[in-house]
Structure 1
Amino acid sequence: MATEPKIVEPFFVEDKVVTGLALADEIAPGVFRCSFYSEQRSLAYGIGGKERTVTAKFILTADAMKALAQALATAGESAPDEFADVPAASIHQH
């Protein structure tokens, strides 16, 4: 029986905070480029203005997207209080 390969991190990979999915483009059959954003105060749009700054982009296979969706479906049960009020439906299709 084959075993899963070990997960290794041979160099530092920084954490990113995202609050929503800006775009999910299918760039090849079953392969998607997902752009994530973080909503923050804007320096360009005046006092009280907000903007959504792209903070991360990932290339995901359809299987990886399904696995991520399944993992997130149960993740909210143990989410830290700081992220409890982040809307799950902050997905925008273009």
Structure 2
Amino acid sequence: MIKTRLSWRCSICEKSSKNAGSLAVFEWFLLFGGAMSNQQLRKFLHLTNGHTAYRILQKFEFDKTGGSKNRKYLHTPYRDKSSIL
């Protein structure tokens, strides 16, 4: 999936999705667990813009630790996120 202005587009089938980035965040937590940084999300989603990753992370009510340079986002399992997806 490639991030476009308003959605994500599959480079193979050309289909678009508005919530592919949100789903990928939860996939990251399933794969790696623990805490996620902005840099880790950018690497996982192949994003070049840190502000885009920040906006994706702000959609969720993740618990946060650390200051602005070393902030980590913690996923609390079983919290209802159905309104975001």
Question: Structure 1 length as normaliser, TM-score?
Answer: 0.27
> Relative to total residues, which structure has the larger helix share, 1 or 2?
2
> Relative to total residues, which structure has the larger strand share, 1 or 2?
1
Question: Structure 2 length as normaliser, TM-score?
Answer: 0.29
Q: Please say which structure displays the higher CA radius of gyration.
A: 1
